[in-house]
Chain A
Amino acid sequence: MASVEVLEANAAVTRTKTRKGKLWKHRSLLILALPGILLMFINNYLPMFGIFLAFKDLNYTEGIWGSKWIGLNNFKFLFASNDAWRIIRHTIFYNLAFLVINTVLAIFLAILLNEVKNRVLSKFFQSTIILPNFISMVIVGYLVFGFLNPELGFVNKFILEPLGYEPVNWYAAPEHWSYILTIVNAWKNVGYAAILYLAAIIGIDQEYYEAALIDGAGRWKQMTKITIPLIAPVIIVLTLLAIGRIFNADFGLFYQATMASGMLKETTDVIDTYVYNALLVTGDTGLASSAGLLQSVVGFVLIISVNLIVRKFSKENALF
Chain B
Amino acid sequence: MPTKKRTNPLILVVLSLFSLACIIPFWLVLTVSISDENEVLRNGYSFWPEKFSFVAYQYLIQDSGTIVRAYGVSIFVTVVGVIASLFVTSAMAYSLSRRDFPLRGALSIYILITMLFSGGLLPWYLVYTRLLHVQDTLLALIIPGLIGGFNVIIMRTFFTTSIPPSLIDSAQIDGAGDYRTYFSIILPLSLPVMATIGLFITVSYWNDWFTSLVFIQNEKLYSLQYLLNKTLMNASFLQTIANKAYSSTAQITQPLESIRMAMAMVAIGPLVLVFPFLQKYFVKGLTVGAVKG
Contact = CB atoms under 8 A, between A and B. Distances in A.
A293 B271 CA distance: 37
Interface string A265-300: 000000010011001100001001100110110011
Nearest to A149: B45
B76 interface: no
Given A47-B127, A112-B11, A142 B232 contact: yes
B25 A36 contact: no
Nearest to A190: B18
A125 B19 contact: yes
A104 interface: no
A75 interface: no
Interface string A206-218: 1001100100000
B111 interface: yes
B110 interface: yes
Nearest to B5: A117
B229 A256 contact: yes
Chain A: number of interface residues, binned into ranges: 35 or more
Contacts of B19: 124-125, 128-129
A100 interface: no
B65 interface: no
Contact of B119 (A50, A115, A227, A303): A50
Contacts of A238: 290
Nearest to A219: B1
Nearest to B84: A35
Contacts, number: 298
Contacts of A295: 120
B250 to A, nearest CB: 25
Nearest to A45: B114
B132 A154 contact: no
A141 B227 CA distance: 13
Contact of B210 (A142, A147, A222, A252): A252
Given A196-B287, A210-B3, A40 B15 contact: no
Given A138-B225, A157-B44, A187-B21, A259 B147 contact: no
B22 A132 contact: yes
B95 A127 contact: no
A61 interface: no
A180 interface: no
Contacts of B177: 28
Given A44-B114, A115-B7, 18 more contacts: A19-B102, A23-B102, A35-B88, A39-B88, A50-B119, A114-B1, A117-B6, A126-B279, A126-B283, A128-B22, A131-B22, A146-B261, A157-B43, A191-B22, A251-B210, A280-B125, A300-B117, A319-B293
11 contacts: A22-B102, A29-B178, A30-B103, A46-B123, A53-B122, A109-B18, A114-B1, A127-B276, A152-B257, A195-B287, A219-B1
